[in-house]
Structures are given as C-alpha cells and as structure tokens.
Amino acid sequence: MARILVVDDSPMERRLAGALLKRAGHEPVPACDGREALEKVRLVPIDVVLVDLVMPGMDGLELLAEIRATHPRLPVIIFTSYGSEEVAAEALRKGASGYVPKRHAGKMLVPTIDSVVEVSRRHAQQERIKQRLDELTARFTLPNDRGELTAVVAFCQQLAADYGFCDDGEWTRIGVALTEALVNAMVHGNLEISSDCRLDDDGTYDRLIEERRQTEPYASRRVRVIVRLKRDEVRFTIRDEGPGFDPSAVPDPTAPENVGKPCGRGLLLIRSFMDEVWHADNGREITMVKRRAAAEETTVSSEPVRAEPACATS
C-alpha cells in the first residue's frame, strides 16, 4: 500500500482517482489545490503526488517545482486532461516521474502508480557504495524474466547515484527510463508482443508473455545490457534479439498530438528522462546517456527510440 496525494480542483476527478486507488489497496489523500497539497506534504508522509496540471492559483507546474525544491525524493505524476498534452511534456522535462491521461485513468492510473512506487522505494532500500572508481563497465545477459530486469534497474540506479549522475529526484526518473527500455526489449523485441494487448481487460498481455517465454524461437532470446560509467557520463546500452524495426517509421512520441496516446508513453518517458538517446542495428539496440551536468534542455538524436511495429512501447 502507498499513500497517494491526489491534487485536483475538481471534486469529481478527486473522487474518481481516489476510488481507483483505494480499490487497488492504496490510501488516497485529497487536496483541492497546490497550497493545500504543500501543507499535506509537510504534515503527512506521502509516497506519490498525483497532480492535475490546470488548477486555479498554483497550477500543476508550479506545484511540481515546489515539491522538487523541497522534497526531491517525492515522485510527482501528472494527471492530464485533453488539451494539456504539451504542458505535460514540459512537466516531464522539469522533473515529473510520469503522467496519466484522465480519459485512460481506468486502465493506466494504478499500473503507473505501482510502477513509480516500486522504483521510488527501491532507493530507500539500497545501501550506497562508498568506493569511487574512475571508470566501470558492467555487462549483463538476461532471460525474458521481468524480475531479473528489476534487479538490473536497481543496480544501474545505484551506480548512477554513487557517481553523482542523479539526485534523489532523478533516481526515480532514471529507473523509470531503464525499466521502460528493458521491458520494451524483452516484451516487444524478444517476445514480439504488441503493447496494444496491454489495453485489453482479458489478461491477454500477461498470458502471451508467459506463453512465449516457454516457446521457441522466443524462449532462447536474451536481453543484453552494457553499462559504461565514466567521470562525465553514464551510458546504458540495451540490446534484444528480436526481428527489429525501422526507427524512422515511428511517430515522434514527444509531439503534443501524441502525448496523450496510450501507445508511445515509454518512448516519451525515455526521451524526457535521458540526455541523449539513439538506436542501432535496425532498432534492436538502444543507447541512453545520462550526463553529470546535463543541459537544461534534453538533447535527443533525431532518430525515434524503440517501438515495436504497429504500436509504440508501453
């Protein structure tokens, strides 16, 4: 269970989000505006803040800035309404840990909250490595097992934190980007499962994953990860053994008209949270770079990042 601060000036939207969260075992804490939200963050232990972008007085972007300044480890998820997609993209660049379009709240709110809570809490469980190195390269070969992907994300987060590439707030954002890329490589690359299946309520997505993990040619495919850490940057290269795809054919997930679509969320998060991203080998390999002193505006190659044919990543 997590305590979720739900910040929205609409009582109906607060009740809707609260009901979804309560049904999933979380504890929703309502706030009608930014000022009330800051007071509750000060008085009550909060795990995640879910905030509407458009509110009177202090809007969502202003509240995000205040929370980032005073509680950098507290993840903020943007609750977007139709027409606010461009502002949502700006919020991701300025420190939000994720976003959920309100029109897809029934399917996306709880999984997004659960993912961010898991990544955020991992930080508190990790003991910092005190030893400092000048350079480090780590290589992993992973089966199509989501549990092992989680362990690699934790390892990479810890390295990035120990070498000063992320503060407490960036810890969660790096973890989310790595998780998206690894799941993308495993599910959409090796297992060739479209993210369209995630929107079904009949369990097709999880059932296909389990079936193909046991079936050739999918079962023997592996995800390979290389982490290269130097003084000025940490570089994550993730490679799958699937059929590949044409990166140039993927719609730009950062375009305002695409921000609110369920497909392509993973692409937008990766490009928002990393300083540089590119593909190689017909889309089978993605490289993501995080620099110690990143420029204020994210620099991304013109080539779109990973998606499977027919639909972008989760």
Residue at a domain's end among 74, 90, 117: 117
User: Does residue 146 share a domain with residue 113?
Assistant: no
User: Does residue 177 share a domain with residue 97?
Assistant: no
User: Does residue 176 share a domain with residue 259?
Assistant: yes
Q: Are 107 and 87 in contact (CB under 8 A)?
A: no
What pLDDT is stored for residue 87 in this prediction? 76
User: Does residue 167 share a domain with residue 138?
Assistant: yes
CATH number of the domain encompassing residue 37? 3.40.50.2300
CATH number of the domain encompassing residue 251? 3.30.565.10
| Sequence-separated (6 or more) residues with CB below 8 Å from residue 249 | none
What pLDDT is stored for residue 306 in this prediction? 39
What span, in angstroms and rounded, lies between the C-alpha atoms of 281 and 158?
29
User: Does residue 138 share a domain with residue 229?
Assistant: yes
User: Does residue 132 share a domain with residue 97?
Assistant: no
User: Does residue 166 share a domain with residue 100?
Assistant: no
What pLDDT is stored for residue 258 in this prediction? 57
Residue at a domain's end among 87, 117, 147: 117
pTM, 2 dp? 0.59
User: Does residue 299 share a domain with residue 194?
Assistant: yes
Counting beta carbons within 10 angstroms of the beta carbon of residue 183, is it exposed (0 to 12), middle (13 to 18) or buried (19 or more)?
buried
Length of the chain: 314
User: Does residue 148 share a domain with residue 100?
Assistant: no
Please count the structural domains in the chain. 2
What pLDDT is stored for residue 308 in this prediction? 37
Per the structure, the complete domain to which residue 283 belongs is given by 126-312
User: Does residue 229 share a domain with residue 146?
Assistant: yes
Residue at a domain's end among 117, 137, 153: 117
Q: Please report, rounded to a whole number, the percentage of residues in the chain having pLDDT higher than 90.
A: 50
Strands 98-101 and 76-80: parallel
User: Does residue 113 share a domain with residue 139?
Assistant: no
Sites in the chain below the pLDDT cut of 70:
82-84, 122-133, 197-201, 251-264, 293-314
User: Does residue 237 share a domain with residue 286?
Assistant: yes
Q: Over the chain, what is the mean pLDDT?
A: 83
* Closest listed residue to residue 86, CA positions, set 74, 70, 72, 99: 99
